Structure 1
Amino acid sequence: MAFHEVRFPTNLSFGAIGGPERRTEIVTMASGFEERNTPWTHARRRFDAGMGLRSLDDLAAVIAFFEARSGQLHGFRWKDWSDHKSCLPSAAPGFEDQVIAIGDGRTRSFALTKAYRSGASTYHRPIAKPVVGSVRAGIGGAQVFPEINYVVDHRIGRITFHEAPDTGAEITAGYEFDVPVRFDTDRIAVSVSSFQAGQVPDIPVIEVRV
């Protein structure tokens, strides 16, 4: 599957419904106790692109986007309005938002991640599709600057410094990001009369691993 580095129209994803999905396997023992396990390290997000449509022009834009991606064939970027920053939704990304690594004096390239904390548990989510121009970075609490100190590969979510950070130095980053997705259907069925009456089409979108 090819991936198109193009974002689904953000004005249409704004009204979409969706979020993270986990897969948990549960076995109930004869005693009533449970054994729970998961084959997934990371969550997978699902959305309904049809929920953001408000006019026939919106529908036309989605159909054009769908055709250009050849249905399920090609992936694309999706803005998840509920979770698209390294910081709180009300804040602007800053270079100290996320600790992504600790320097070892040799490594220059680091993957972007986002930490989700609750109590004593922390989940580190890989960020594969940062938004171009949004990445801020720091080394040891001091901000460094793009092109001068580092470059970002926005296709895979990696930041590469021109010189390896010192051993023990915290590597931090802040950014906005998209979710890599594809359509989860090869068919869009819609009636103009029902759409005008308020019935929106079901256009499922699902996250892909890249």
Structure 2
Amino acid sequence: MYELFGGNPFDLMAEVLRLAEQKRKSSHWYTPTLEADERCGKEARKLLEPYDKELKLAATIGLDLQAIAAIIRQCETKEFYVLYKILQELDYFFSWEQFCEAIDEAKSFRALNDNIEETGIRILPRVKIPQFAYEGHLRRDARSFCDYINANLQNCYYIKEEHLNVDGIKYELENVIYQPEIKGKDRESLTIAFSPLTNLPLDDILQINYFCREG
């Protein structure tokens, strides 16, 4: 999706997500005690600690492929809640501020990770929104449509590839992120296309607010 000097760090995250989903399906679901939660957190930090410096820059310049393979190898033996804590740690390292300037708004992208076919996972950025409420109502973001893991990630969220198959139809995602405050482009207007197309009156679908730039 964007140029990196090393391996894609979101490929690592997708692999850990795949493992976490497998462990969650095969293991008994339980709510960990405070003691167990702390233990899993310490185990996750201990696993990632040797790669701390690389992970801090991973979303900007990439991650060594050997480091990615070593982390995945260790994750394969971990229980679900340790993997869950590892995902939270990776989400902290791979912050929106690190990679947002590298995203080209002129190009659409399928996901942040490249290994969609191998993992069945698509990772997308949790883009910051300018206001969280509109006319007294809380705006819905990615957390409104997600499960346990997604709800506790701050900088990204994931979609299972299988969920893009609806009633026998395979849907494709193309994402474009517009960032005027970062790109510094002065525009008089912005045109956005919505898909799928519909013949309903636009006012039935969208509530449109018009803004005028003064000066």
TM-score range, shorter chain: under 0.3
Q: TM-score, normalised by structure 2?
A: 0.22
Q: TM-score, normalised by structure 1?
A: 0.22
- Higher-strand-fraction structure: 1
